[in-house]
C-alpha cells in the first residue's frame, strides 16, 4: 500500500500511488456494493488492492473471487439486476473472455463502472499496454472514457457512477487507463472526502427499470424481435433507446464533470481537452496517457514557433463529434495518434473517427494517422516532435501520406 | 374437488400368485382363512395374475348407484366408505362397479369392499414379491396442489414434455420468493421467460447466457444475502448448458459454495435447438450431430457423469432424480431447497424427451421408469456428512434392451454397441456402489493411489 | 315472481343428482336450481321398500344434505310442483304461479305408479309406493295387517309382499303375466324365486287377472279382490304395484316430443335443443335394437343423468349414451338375483347356456352371440354385474376364454377386466 502522507480519521487526504491503487480507492469512495475479481496483467494489482481494501474494512463490499472474467461480469450482472452498484476491472484476453456477458450489459441498461487497464491483444503474445483491447469493443454500446493521469483515473471512476446511473443514460462505463504507464506509474493523488463523494453520487437506484426481485416480479429480457407481431418494433425500440442513451450521455458527462469541478475543485475536460489550440495551424489528436509526452512536444514546438496545438479525446464512446469538430475548426492539418489499430482501414481507430467527424461536418482537413505505443512501447516527446513535423508539412503541402508507425524503427 | 389419495398399486409382473394377500385380508377383515373372504382378489389368467379390488374411484359409480346413501367417498381418506347401518343389501352398487371391487360376501351376508385398512393395508404387508405397493405419493400432490403453479398455463412444450412437469412441480415447491434463471433451451423455449414483453412465469425470471447461469445467480443471491433478504436463487437448466459450455461457471459457483439451487434437467442433448449431441448424450445415441449413416452409428463416447462431478465439488447437496419416482424426487427437492440456504445444491433430474429420443408422447414416464429399473441411471443423493447413498437401489435390473428398444434413438444399435452399453451400466453401478460404501465427503484432494 | 337459472333441474333423484354432479364438474359457477315436488331432501324410490320393512329409517335415507347444496351453490326448491314448461320462453311455471327461467332444462321427473282400470279400485283404500310418504304410510298399515293382497309381481310388488309376509300378514300376489319379475328373469328363474316366496308363506297367482274389487263390509277396513278364476281374496291391506309411467304432463304443449316418455338422443337432448331428460322419464335408445325405450332402472338413470349434465354444461369430454341395457339386482328371503342384459329373444344367433341347481337354489344363464356377451342372469350365483355390463357395452370378444367364461364367468370376466380397462 502507498504511504499515507496526511491521514484523517477515515481516509487519507492524498496518496502517492499508481493508477491501479487509485482505481481501488475510487471504488471504495463510490461505496460499491459488490466487486468481482479475476487477476490479469496489468490489472492484477488493482484487484489485489480491492481485496485488501475489503479485507481491511475500507471497502465494505461483497467480493466474489470468480473463476474467470466471464463469471466476473455475470456475477455482477446478476447483482445489478438485484440492485447492486458494481465494479470490476479487466483487460486484453480477460476482456475477450468476458465478451459474451460484456456484450449484454448495455442492452440490459445496467449501469456499472469497469476499468479496462488497457493491454494489447494477442497475438503476438504480449502482456503490455496498448489500447487494442478497449478499441476492439468500441461498438458494443458501453461508454468509454480514457484517462491521462492517475488522478484522472480516480476521479473518472467516481464520476463514472454518476454518469452510468443517470436516468437519461443507464449504461455501463468503461474507464480506461493505460496498462503499465498508468497502472504502475505512481504520483500524488488527492482523495476527495467521503462525504463529498456521497453527496455527489447520491443513493444508487440501479434496477428501477429491470429487476430480478420477488417483491416486483418480472421477466428480464424475454425473447424479443423476429419478423412478426410486435417483434420488429419492440426490438427497434430497445436499440434506438440504447442509441439515445449514448447521445444523452454527452451532455450528462459534461454536466457531471462541471459539478465535479464545483464540488471537488478539480477540473477535467469531459469530452475533449484543447491544449494550446489558440491560433494553432496544426493539431495533434491524442488519447490516454500518451497525451503528457505529446503536450511536452507541443510546448517544445511552440517554443520553436510552430503554431501547433493538441486535442485530447477523453470520451471516446459516445464519440463527441461536435466537440471534436469545434476543437479542430481553424487548423490546417490534423495528425491523430492512436495506440491501436483499425485493421480494416490500415489506420488508427481514433483517426477514423476524427476523419469521419470532420467529413460529417463538411470540414475536409488534410489529416494523417500515426500509430504508436503498441504492446508497452514508449511514446516519447521525440516521437511526437516527429509527428508535429510531419503534420506541419502536411499543412504546407496537403500531401496525405500513409499511416506512420511510430515505433517501427525503435 | 378433493385431493389425491394414497392407493394400493398392483404390478402384475411381480405377482407370483401366492395368495398371501388374500389370506391376510381375509384374516384381517373376516377372521377367516378363506380367500373367498378377501376383499382383494387375485385371479389367475394365462400365465399371469390379475387383480380385482376396489379402486377407491374419484367419482365412484357404486356411490351414485346406492339408493340408501350407504356408500360415500371419504374426502379425507379417499376411501369409499360403506355404512352397514344404511346398506339395504340391494346390490345395485355391484352393478356400478366395473372392477369387481364391491362384491356380496356370503359369509357376511352383505357387500364388502376394501377400506385400505386405515392406511396400513394388510395385503401390502403380506406381499413378499412386491407386487402390491401402498402408494402414498398423493401426499405430495395434496401438499403441492395447495401451492400456486408459478408458471402460466399454456407453455408451449412438446406433447408429453417431461421438462414442463419438472418445471411446474419444482417451482411450486420452491415458492414465490425466488429468482429463476432459465438458460437458453427447452425451458425458456416453451415460453417461460416469454416473448416480446410477455412472460410465462410468475416469479422474477430471466435468460442468463447459456454459459453463466450459476454466476448470475451467485451475484443475485449474494446481493440479497447482503440485504438480509431470503430469496431463493434457482436455475432450471438443460444438460448442455450445465455440462458443456456452462460447466465452468457451474463448477466455479459450486466450489465457492454459492447458495444456489441448480436443477439440471437432463434430456441428454440440445433438444430445443434441434437435438444435437451434448456431453450428457449417452453412448450410441442418435442425435442430429451424431447421425446414423454408412459410417456413423450414433455417439461414440460415453456420457459425462455430471452429478458425480458435482459431488466431487463437495457441494452441500447433490442428488439424481426421476419423474417416474416422484416421492423420491420431492424428498430430494425438499433437501436441495434446504441445502441451498447454506451452500450449493445440485439436483440432476433425468428427463426423457419424447421428441428427441423418439418415442410416443404417452410413454414418457414409462421410459423414465425403465431408465431406473434397468440401472441405466441411478438414483442417489449426497451430502458431505452422509456421503453418497442410493435412494432407489435396483438389485435385479431389467435388461437394458427393454429401455433401448423403447426409444427410436437407439434403433440402429449393433450387438457390439449394446454390449458396450451393458458393460457401462455394470461399471457405473459398481462405481456408485463403491462410493456409497465409502461414505462421507470426497477427499479435498482426491488421491488416486 | 321470476327467477333465473343457467341450469334448471326438475326432479331430485338419481338422474337429477348425477346430472348436477357432472355439470358442476365442468361449470362450477353457473346458476343451478333444482326443483322437486318432494317436500324433503333427495331420496331414492328404490330405498322405499326398505323403509316399509323398517330396515331403513326414513330420516336416514337422504342422498344429499343441505350442506351439499350450499357447497355446490344450488338453489334447492323442495315441495314445489312444476305445472308446465313454456319452451318458447325458456321458463317453467310452478304450481304457485311463479316462474323460473332457464338456459338449459333437465326433466328428471321420474315416473308415477300406474293405477290399473280395475272396477271398484277407485272405491277402496289401497297403497302405492313411489314417495317417502307412501312408504311411511304403508309401513304403518302393514303393522296391523292380517291379510294383504299385492297387485303386480314387479320389484315393487315383490318387495311389498315380502315385507308384509315378514310383518306377519297372510299375503297373496296377483300377476297378470305368467311369472314373477317379468322382463328381468325367465320362467325358470322366476319359478325359483316363486318357490322362495311360497316357502315364505306367500301365495302367488301368476297369469291371473284381478277382475274387480269389492269394498269390505261396512265399517270394516279392507276389501276383496276377485280374480278371473272366480277366487275372492279378502284383505285388509291392498297394494297396487302394477307398474309406473313417466311423469310428462308438465311438457304438454311445450313442443317437446313425448312418446311413452320424453324422446331423447344419445346426449339426452329432447326434441327441443335446450331441454334434456334423464332417468325414468326418458325414452332413450336401447343398446341391442336401437329402438327408443323406457329403461326405468337406477343404474341407467345415473348413466343418463351424467350424460345429460355434461351435455347441458357443454363438457367436451362427453361420450354418447351407449344405449340402455336392462339390468337389475334383487334380494329376497336372504337370496339374491342379478340380471344383466337381454335373454336374446328375437336376436338371431343368440346362444343360451343355462345351469340350474334347484337343490342349491342356484341358477346361472349366459347368453352369447358371436362370442360376445348379450346377457347374464343369476340367482345365488357369483359374478360382478358391473364387469358384465362393461363386457356387453364393449362387445369384448370372449372367444379366447369362452369355455372358462361359461364355466366360471366371474374369474374369466375379472381377468378380461384387469387386462382391458383396469
Domain boundaries, chain A: 14-201, 272-405
Q: Which of B185, B198, B205, B223 to mutate against chain A (most A CBs within 10 Å)?
A: B223
Res B264: pLDDT: 98
Residues of B in contact with A66 (CB under 8 A): 215, 252
> What is the phi/psi pair of residue A295, to 5°?
-65, -40
Res C66: pLDDT: 96
Taking CA atoms, B191 is separated from A365, B182, B268, C173, in Å, by: 55, 10, 21, 74
Q: Please write the tens of the pLDDT for every residue from A52-97.
A: 999 999 999 999 999 999 999 999 999 999 999 999 999 999 999 9
A219 to chain B: closest CA residue: B205
Res B449: pLDDT: 42
Contact A348, A403 (CB under 8 A): yes
CATH 3.30.70.20 fits B7-139, yes or no: yes
For residue B127, pLDDT beyond 50: yes
Confidence at B137, pLDDT banded by 50, 70, 90: confident
| Fold that domain B147-438 belongs to in CATH | Rossmann fold (3.40.50)
Which of B322, B317, B360, B364 has the alpha carbon at shortest distance from B340? Answer: B317
Residues of B in contact with C418 (CB under 8 A): 12, 43, 45, 50-52
Confidence at C182, pLDDT banded by 50, 70, 90: confident
Res B358: pLDDT: 97
Q: Please write the tens of the pLDDT for every residue from C318-344.
A: 999 999 999 999 999 999 999 999 999
Q: Which of B43, B86, B97 sits opposite C415 (nearest CB)?
A: B43
- CB of B107 less than 8 A from some CB of C: no
Instruction: Provide the CA C211 distance to its chain's centre, in angstroms.
Output: 27
Q: Please write the tens of the pLDDT for every residue from B61-79.
A: 999 999 999 999 998 899 9
Q: Which of A65, A76, A216 sits opposite B219 (nearest CB)?
A: A76
Residues of C in contact with B59 (CB under 8 A): 21
Q: Decide whether A14-201 matches A272-405 in CATH topology.
A: yes
Taking CA atoms, C280 is separated from B69, C151, C302, in Å, by: 20, 21, 10
Cβ of A64 and B219 within 8 Å? Answer: yes
Res A6: pLDDT: 43
Could you name the CATH architecture of A14-201? 3-Layer(aba) Sandwich (3.40)
How many B/C residue pairs have CB atoms within 8 Å?
120
The whole-angstrom distance between C238's CA and the closest CA on chain B is 24
3-state secondary structure B203-258: CCEECCCCCCHHHHHHHHHHHHHHHCCCCEEEEEEEHHHHHCCCHHHHHHHHHHCC
Find chains touching chain B: ≥3 CB pairs under 8 Å: A, C
- CB of B20 less than 8 A from some CB of C: no
Rg (CA), chain C: 23
Average pLDDT of the residues in B89-99: 96
Q: Please write the tens of the pLDDT for every residue from C18-32.
A: 999 999 999 999 999
Peptide bond into A124 cis (omega under 30): yes
Confidence at B3, pLDDT banded by 50, 70, 90: confident
Strands (E), A263-392: 272-275, 282-287, 308-313, 315-317, 333-338, 367-371
CATH number of A272-405: 3.40.50.920
Q: With pLDDT > 70 as the criterion, what percentage of chain B qualifies?
A: 98
Task: Report d(CA B103, CA B94) in Å as an integer.
Answer: 6
- CB of B47 less than 8 A from some CB of C: no
Report, in this order, helix, strand and coil percent for chain B, each rounded to 5: 35, 20, 45
Cβ of B256 and A68 within 8 Å? Answer: no
- The mean of the pLDDT values for chain A is 96
Contact B77, B119 (CB under 8 A): yes
Res A212: pLDDT: 98
The whole-angstrom distance between B160's CA and the closest CA on chain C is 20
For residue A18, pLDDT beyond 50: yes
The whole-angstrom distance between B150's CA and the closest CA on chain A is 11
Q: Which of B176, B203, B212 sits opposite A71 (nearest CB)?
A: B212
Cβ of B199 and A83 within 8 Å? Answer: no
Q: A370: which strand partners? A: A337, A404
Q: Which of A65, A214, A225 sits opposite B178 (nearest CB)?
A: A214
Q: Please write the tens of the pLDDT for every residue from C30-57.
A: 999 999 999 999 999 999 999 999 999 9
- CB of B95 less than 8 A from some CB of C: yes
Cβ of A74 and B219 within 8 Å? Answer: yes
Q: Which of B193, B215, B224 sits opposite A74 (nearest CB)?
A: B215
Tell me the residues of chain B between 60 and 79 that have a Cβ less than 8 Å away from chain C.
61, 64-65, 67-69
Q: Please write the tens of the pLDDT for every residue from A353-400.
A: 999 999 999 998 999 999 999 999 999 999 999 999 999 999 999 999
The whole-angstrom distance between A214's CA and the closest CA on chain B is 5
Round to the nearest angstrom and report the end-to-end CA distance of chain A: 35
Instruction: Provide the CA A393 distance to its chain's centre, in angstroms.
Output: 32
Res C222: pLDDT: 84
Taking CA atoms, A105 is separated from A96, A109, B179, B193, C26, in Å, by: 14, 7, 19, 18, 49
In chain B, where does the domain assigned CATH 3.40.50.970 lie? 147-438
In chain B, where does the domain assigned CATH 3.30.70.20 lie? 7-139
Cβ of B98 and C340 within 8 Å? Answer: no
For residue B447, pLDDT beyond 80: no
For residue B84, pLDDT beyond 70: yes
Peptide bond into A318 cis (omega under 30): yes
Res B2: pLDDT: 61
Instruction: Provide the CA B381 distance to its chain's centre, in angstroms.
Output: 14
**β-strand pairing of A272-275 with A62-65:** unpaired
Residue A400 gets which letter from DSSP? P
Q: With pLDDT > 90 as the criterion, what percentage of chain B qualifies?
A: 88
Task: Report d(CA B348, CA B236) in Å as an integer.
Answer: 10
Contact B441, B384 (CB under 8 A): yes
- Alpha helix segments (H runs only) across B39-161: 61-65, 92-96, 122-126, 138-145
Residues of C in contact with B65 (CB under 8 A): 14, 298-299, 302
Cβ of B248 and A34 within 8 Å? Answer: no
Residues of B in contact with C384 (CB under 8 A): 52, 94, 97, 100, 103
Confidence at B271, pLDDT banded by 50, 70, 90: very high
- CB of B103 less than 8 A from some CB of C: yes
Residues of B in contact with A86 (CB under 8 A): 219
Find chains touching chain C: ≥3 CB pairs under 8 Å: B
Handedness of CA C10, C15, C18, C23 (dihedral sign): negative
Cβ neighbours, 10 Å, residue B424: 17
CA atoms within 13 A on the CB side of A291: 27
Cβ neighbours, 10 Å, residue C3: 16
Residues 6+ positions from C220 with CB-CB distance below 8 Å? C236
The whole-angstrom distance between A47's CA and the closest CA on chain B is 18
Cβ of A33 and B223 within 8 Å? Answer: yes
Residues of B in contact with A65 (CB under 8 A): 256
Cβ of C386 and B96 within 8 Å? Answer: yes
Residues 6+ positions from B224 with CB-CB distance below 8 Å? A82, B230, B231, B233
Peptide bond into B414 cis (omega under 30): no
Task: Report d(CA B94, CA B329) in Å as an integer.
Answer: 39
Peptide bond into B250 cis (omega under 30): no
Helix (H) or strand (E) holding C196: helix C187-199
Cβ of C389 and B100 within 8 Å? Answer: no
Q: Which of B12, B86, B97 sits opposite C384 (nearest CB)?
A: B97
Strands (E), B47-155: 49-52, 71-73, 80-82, 102-105, 110-113, 132-135
Cα dihedral C339/C341/C346/C352 (nearest 10)? -70
Rg (CA), chain A: 21
Confidence at A5, pLDDT banded by 50, 70, 90: very low
Cβ of C419 and B104 within 8 Å? Answer: no
Res A356: pLDDT: 97
Residues of B in contact with A224 (CB under 8 A): 195-197
A71 to chain B: closest CA residue: B215
For residue C143, pLDDT beyond 50: yes
Q: Please write the tens of the pLDDT for every residue from B169-206.
A: 999 999 999 999 999 999 999 999 998 878 999 999 99
Cβ of A74 and B212 within 8 Å? Answer: yes
A34 to chain B: closest CA residue: B223
Res B1: pLDDT: 45
The DSSP-derived string for C91-111 is EEEETTS-EEEEEEEEE---E
Task: Report d(CA C180, CA C187) in Å as an integer.
Answer: 8
Contact C300, C325 (CB under 8 A): yes
Q: Please write the tens of the pLDDT for every residue from C3-16.
A: 899 999 999 999 99
How many A/B residue pairs have CB atoms within 8 Å?
156
Res C229: pLDDT: 87
Residues of A in contact with B185 (CB under 8 A): none
Q: Which of C21, C329, C417 sits opposite B92 (nearest CB)?
A: C329
- Alpha helix segments (H runs only) across B31-136: 61-65, 92-96, 122-126
Q: Please write the tens of the pLDDT for every residue from C189-215.
A: 999 999 999 999 999 999 999 999 998
Q: Which of B178, B196, B223 sits opposite A79 (nearest CB)?
A: B223
Cβ of B96 and C340 within 8 Å? Answer: no
ipTM: 0.96
Confidence at C160, pLDDT banded by 50, 70, 90: very high
Cβ of B223 and A76 within 8 Å? Answer: no
Average pLDDT of the residues in C70-82: 96
- CB of A69 less than 8 A from some CB of B: no
Q: What is the pTM of this model?
A: 0.74
Res C218: pLDDT: 65
Amino acid at each position: 500500500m502507498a504511504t499515507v502522507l496526511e491521514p484523517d480519521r477515515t481516509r487519507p487526504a492524498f496518496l502517492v500511488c499508481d493508477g491501479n491503487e487509485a482505481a481501488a480507492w475510487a471504488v471504495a469512495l463510490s461505496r460499491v456494493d459488490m466487486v468481482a475479481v479475476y487477476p490479469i496483467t496489468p490489472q492484477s494489482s488493482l484487484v489485489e488492492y480491492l481485496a485488501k481494501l475489503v479485507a481491511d474494512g475500507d471497502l465494505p463490499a461483497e467480493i466474489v473471487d470468480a473463476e474467470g472474467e466471464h463469471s466476473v461480469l455475470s456475477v455482477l450482472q446478476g447483482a445489478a439486476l438485484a440492485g447492486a452498484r458494481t465494479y470490476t476491472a479487466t483487460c486484453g484476453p480477460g476482456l475477450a473472455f468476458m465478451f459474451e456477458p460484456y456484450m449484454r450489459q448495455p442492452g440490459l441498461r445496467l449501469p456499472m463502472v469497469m476499468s479496462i487497464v488497457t493491454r494489447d491483444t494477442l497475438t503476438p503474445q504480449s502482456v503490455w499496454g496498448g489500447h487494442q483491447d478497449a478499441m476492439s469493443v468500441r461498438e458494443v454500446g458501453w461508454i468509454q472514457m480514457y484517462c491521462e493521469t492517475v488522478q484522472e483515473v480516480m476521479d473518472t471512476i467516481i464520476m463514472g457512477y454518476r454518469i452510468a446511473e443517470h436516468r437519461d443514460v443507464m449504461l455501463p462505463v468503461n474507464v480506461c487507463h493505460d496498462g503499465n504507464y498508468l497502472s504502475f506509474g505512481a504520483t500524488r493523488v488527492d482523495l476527495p472526502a467521503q462525504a463529498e463523494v456521497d453527496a455527489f453520487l447520491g443513493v444508487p437506484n440501479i434496477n428501477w427499470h429491470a429487476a430480478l426481485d420477488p417483491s416486483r416480479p418480472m421477466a428480464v429480457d424475454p425473447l424479443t424481435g423476429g419478423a412478426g407481431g410486435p417483434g420488429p418494433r419492440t426490438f427497434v425500440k430497445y436499440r434506438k433507446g440504447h442509441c439515445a442513451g449514448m447521445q444523452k450521455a454527452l451532455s450528462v458527462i459534461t454536466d457531471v464533470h462541471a459539478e465535479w469541478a464545483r464540488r471537488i475543485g478539480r477540473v477535467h475536460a469531459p469530452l475533449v481537452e484543447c491544449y494550446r489550440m489558440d491560433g494553432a495551424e496544426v493539431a495533434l489528436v491524442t488519447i490516454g496517457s500518451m497525451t503528457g509526452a505529446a503536450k511536452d512536444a507541443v510546448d517544445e514546438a511552440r517554443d520553436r514557433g510552430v503554431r501547433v496545438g493538441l486535442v485530447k479525446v477523453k470520451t471516446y464512446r459516445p464519440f463527441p463529434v461536435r466537440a471534436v469538430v469545434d476543437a479542430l475548426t481553424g487548423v490546417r492539418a490534423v495528425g491523430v495518434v492512436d495506440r491501436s489499430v483499425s485493421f480494416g482501414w490500415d489506420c488508427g481507430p481514433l483517426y477514423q473517427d476524427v476523419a469521419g467527424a470532420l467529413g460529417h461536418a463538411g470540414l475536409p482537413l488534410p489529416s494523417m494517422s500515426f500509430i504508436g505505443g503498441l504492446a508497452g512501447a514508449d511514446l516519447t516527446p521525440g516521437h511526437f516532435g516527429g509527428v508535429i513535423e510531419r503534420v506541419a508539412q502536411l499543412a504546407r503541402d496537403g500531401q496525405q501520406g500513409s499511416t506512420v508507425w511510430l515505433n517501427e524503427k525503435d | 374437488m378433493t385431493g389425491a389419495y394414497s392407493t394400493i398399486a398392483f404390478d402384475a409382473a411381480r405377482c407370483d400368485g401366492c395368495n398371501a394377500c388374500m389370506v391376510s385380508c381375509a384374516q384381517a377383515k373376516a377372521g377367516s382363512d378363506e380367500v373367498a373372504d378377501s376383499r382383494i382378489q387375485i385371479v389367475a389368467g394365462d400365465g399371469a395374475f390379475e387383480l380385482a379390488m376396489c379402486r377407491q374411484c374419484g367419482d365412484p359409480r357404486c356411490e351414485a348407484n346406492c339408493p340408501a346413501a350407504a356408500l360415500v367417498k371419504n374426502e379425507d381418506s379417499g376411501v369409499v366408505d360403506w355404512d352397514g347401518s344404511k346398506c339395504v343389501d340391494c346390490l345395485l352398487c355391484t352393478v356400478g362397479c366395473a372392477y369387481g371391487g364391491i362384491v356380496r360376501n356370503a359369509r357376511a351376508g352383505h357387500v364388502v369392499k376394501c377400506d385400505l385398512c386405515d392406511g396400513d393395508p394388510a395385503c401390502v404387508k403380506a406381499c413378499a414379491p412386491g407386487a402390491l405397493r401402498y402408494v402414498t405419493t398423493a401426499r405430495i400432490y395434496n401438499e403441492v396442489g395447495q401451492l400456486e403453479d408459478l408458471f402460466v398455463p399454456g407453455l408451449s412444450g412438446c406433447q408429453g414434455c417431461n421438462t414442463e412437469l419438472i418445471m411446474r412441480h419444482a417451482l411450486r415447491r420452491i415458492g414465490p420468493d425466488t429468482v429463476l434463471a432459465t438458460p437458453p433451451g427447452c425451458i425458456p423455449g416453451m415460453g417461460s421467460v416469454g416473448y416480446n414483453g410477455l412472460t410465462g412465469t410468475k416469479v422474477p425470471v430471466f435468460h442468463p447466457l447459456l454459459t453463466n447461469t450459476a454466476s448470475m445467480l451467485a451475484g443475485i443471491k449474494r446481493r440479497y444475502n447482503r440485504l438480509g433478504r431470503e430469496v431463493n436463487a434457482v436455475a432450471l437448466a438443460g444438460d448442455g448448458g450445465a455440462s458443456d459450455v456452462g460447466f465452468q461457471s457451474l463448477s466455479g459457483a459450486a466450489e465457492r459454495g454459492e447458495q444456489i439451487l441448480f436443477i439440471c434437467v437432463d434430456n441428454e442433448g440440445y433438444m430445443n435447438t434441434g437435438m444435437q449431441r451434448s456431453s450428457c448424450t449417452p453412448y450410441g445415441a442418435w442425435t442430429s450431430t451424431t447421425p446414423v449413416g454408412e459410417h456413423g452409428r450414433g455417439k461414440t463416447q460415453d456420457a459425462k457423469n455430471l452429478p458425480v462431478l458435482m459431488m466431487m465439488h463437495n457441494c452441500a447437496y447433490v442428488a439424481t432424480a426421476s419423474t417416474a419416482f416422484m416421492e423420491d424426487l420431492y424428498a430430494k427437492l425438499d433437501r436441495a431447497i434446504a441445502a441451498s440456504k447454506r451452500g450449493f445444491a445440485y439436483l440432476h433430474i433425468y428427463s426423457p424427451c419424447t421428441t428427441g429420443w423418439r418415442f410416443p408422447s404417452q410413454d414418457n414416464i414409462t421410459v423414465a421408469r425403465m431408465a431406473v429399473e434397468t440401472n441405466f441411471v441411478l438414483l442417489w443423493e449426497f451430502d458431505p456428512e452422509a456421503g453418497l447413498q442410493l435412494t432407489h437401489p435396483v438389485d435385479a435390473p431389467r435388461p437394458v434392451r427393454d429401455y433401448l428398444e423403447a426409444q427410436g434413438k437407439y434403433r440402429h444399435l449393433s450387438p457390439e454397441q449394446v454390449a458396450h452399453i451393458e458393460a457401462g451400466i455394470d461399471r457405473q453401478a459398481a462405481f456408485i456402489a463403491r462410493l456409497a460404501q465409502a461414505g462421507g465427503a470426497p477427499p479435498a484432494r482426491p488421491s488416486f493411489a | 315472481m321470476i327467477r333465473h337459472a343457467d341450469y334448471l333441474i326438475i326432479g331430485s333423484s338419481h338422474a337429477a343428482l348425477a346430472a348436477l354432479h357432472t355439470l358442476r364438474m365442468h361449470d362450477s359457477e353457473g346458476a343451478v336450481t333444482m326443483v322437486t315436488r318432494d317436500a324433503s331432501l333427495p331420496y331414492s324410490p328404490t330405498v322405499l321398500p326398505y323403509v316399509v320393512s323398517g330396515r331403513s329409517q326414513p330420516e336416514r335415507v337422504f342422498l344429499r344434505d343441505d350442506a351439499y347444496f350450499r357447497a355446490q351453490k344450488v338453489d334447492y326448491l323442495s315441495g314445489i310442483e312444476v305445472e308446465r314448461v313454456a319452451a318458447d320462453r325458456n321458463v317453467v311455471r310452478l304450481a304457485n304461479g311463479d316462474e323460473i327461467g332457464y338456459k338449459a332444462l333437465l326433466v328428471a321427473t321420474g315416473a308415477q305408479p300406474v293405477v290399473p282400470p280395475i272396477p271398484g279400485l277407485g272405491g277402496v283404500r289401497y297403497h302405492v309406493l313411489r314417495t317417502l310418504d307412501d312408504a311411511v304410510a304403508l309401513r304403518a298399515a302393514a303393522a296391523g295387517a292380517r291379510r294383504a293382497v299385492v297387485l303386480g309381481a314387479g320389484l315393487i310388488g315383490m318387495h311389498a309382499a315380502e315385507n308384509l309376509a315378514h310383518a306377519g300378514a297372510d299375503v297373496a300376489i296377483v300377476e297378470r303375466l305368467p311369472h314373477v319379475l317379468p322382463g328381468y328373469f325367465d320362467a325358470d328363474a322366476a319359478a325359483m324365486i316363486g318357490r322362495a316366496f311360497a316357502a315364505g308363506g306367500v301365495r302367488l297367482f301368476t297369469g291371473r287377472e284381478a277382475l274387480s274389487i269389492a269394498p269390505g263390509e261396512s265399517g270394516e277396513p279392507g276389501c276383496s279382490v276377485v280374480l278371473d278364476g272366480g277366487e275372492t281374496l279378502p284383505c285388509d291391506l291392498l297394494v297396487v304395484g302394477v307398474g309406473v309411467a313417466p311423469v310428462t304432463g308438465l311438457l304438454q304443449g311445450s313442443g317437446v316430443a313425448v312418446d311413452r316418455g320424453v324422446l331423447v338422443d344419445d346426449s339426452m337432448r329432447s326434441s327441443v335443443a335446450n331441454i334434456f331428460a334423464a332417468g325414468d322419464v326418458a325414452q332413450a335408445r336401447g343398446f341391442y335394437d336401437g329402438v327408443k325405450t323406457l329403461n326405468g332402472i337406477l343404474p341407467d338413470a345415473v348413466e343418463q343423468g351424467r350424460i345429460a349434465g355434461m351435455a347441458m354444461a357443454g363438457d367436451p369430454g362427453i361420450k354418447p349414451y351407449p344405449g340402455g341395457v336392462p339390468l337389475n339386482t334383487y334380494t329376497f328371503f336372504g337370496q339374491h338375483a342379478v340380471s344383466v342384459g337381454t335373454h336374446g329373444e328375437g336376436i338371431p344367433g343368440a346362444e343360451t347356456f343355462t345351469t340350474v341347481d334347484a337343490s342349491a337354489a342356484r341358477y346361472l344363464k349366459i347368453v352369447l352371440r358371436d362370442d360376445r356377451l348379450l346377457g347374464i342372469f343369476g340367482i345365488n350365483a357369483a359374478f360382478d354385474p358391473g364387469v358384465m355390463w362393461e363386457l356387453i357395452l364393449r362387445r369384448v370378444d370372449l372367444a379366447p376364454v369362452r369355455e372358462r367364461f361359461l364355466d366360471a364367468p366371474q374369474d374369466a370376466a375379472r381377468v378380461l377386466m384387469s387386462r382391458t380397462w383396469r
